[in-house]
Amino acid sequence: MNRKILVTGGGGLLGSALKARCPEASYVTSRDFDLRRFDETEKMFHDMKPTHVIHLAANVGGVKKNAEENATLFSDNVMINANVLDLAARKGVKRLISILSSCCFQIYADRPSTEDDLHAGLPFAGNLGYGYAKRMLDIQSKLISEQFKLQFSTITPATMMGPHDNWDLESGHVVAAIIHRAFIAKQKNEPLTVWGSGNAVRQFIFSDDVARLLVSELDQFRGPENMIVTADEGITIRELVLMIAELMKFDGKIIFDKSKPEGQLKRVLKSNSFKQRYPDFHFTSMRNSLKSTIDWFLENHKTARMMKVSL
């Protein structure tokens, strides 16, 4: 049987990176189908007839959006995931990989969270809706894999960055939002204002690294268990901002606005299985990842995607 790959959420950060790595796949976005609706999701599977699915579609956002739209993010993502996985199972899709988020995890002060902690406790209150919807996606993948003997699984990458991100100043991810703010501050000769104290610790990964991994995972199945993917132990937002400022040649004043939300003080994950599965996998360095992301934005800022909602 010929393999036919479908990628949902194909217009986003990771979907765009996948297009270079997996050009033979079909990529759909919210402009093609509203996956919150069962009938439109059913039409997608009828039209595309995939044998393999990489499920990226989600309603996502940054710290501000996660906190202010908790209920909406929960309901939208539960509907999207339930529709996609249910219909994929009904249609006999052989292999389906879904993307989770570090927002799923309860974070511990004394150690990184691992795959064993995915369903322990509660996610951080500021992203509870999005995080718990992603937990349910993992549960549904396991149940379908067991009941229907299909190869459904999930992976959890660290916070991604790269070209084709959502560059909205309020709803975008942290790296994209900071790069955009630094660009504006440099143009206007104004201070760069960053939300929070700068002390929060986060892990980041280049979108192309995750795309490479997903292409490899399509042909492998070791069971439905989740796998965390992260390049390092993380850096502080202050260190991140200083590196971005250096790469963008921004030498103005940097202000950390403690009145603005910054989420959890430390969110760090560690995989129990990644090194055993991929002992020779080489991640793009933080500096090179940022440089590629910044270079793309500087070349494309006039047409770059800036969305309040990304499905």
Catalytically annotated residues: 130
Q: From CA 194, how far away is CA 182, in angstroms rounded?
A: 9
Q: 11: closest CA among 24, 26, 1, 2?
A: 26
153 forms bridges with which residues in the sheet? 97
* Helix, strand or coil, per DSSP, at residue 156: strand
Task: Count helices and strands (H / E) in the chain.
Answer: 10, 12
Q: From CA 67, how far away is CA 61, in angstroms rounded?
A: 9
Q: From CA 263, how far away is CA 53, in angstroms rounded?
A: 32
Q: From CA 119, how far away is CA 141, in angstroms rounded?
A: 14
Q: From CA 259, how far away is CA 171, in angstroms rounded?
A: 17
Q: 194: closest CA among 251, 253, 257, 246?
A: 257
Question: Residue 108, class by beta-carbon neighbours within 10 Å (0-12 exposed, 13-18 middle, 19+ buried)?
Answer: middle
Distances (CA, A) of 57 to 60, 99, 175, 233: 9, 9, 20, 27
Q: How many CB atoms lie within 10 A of CB 265?
A: 14
Q: 66: closest CA among 113, 101, 26?
A: 101
Q: 210: closest CA among 153, 138, 283, 268?
A: 283
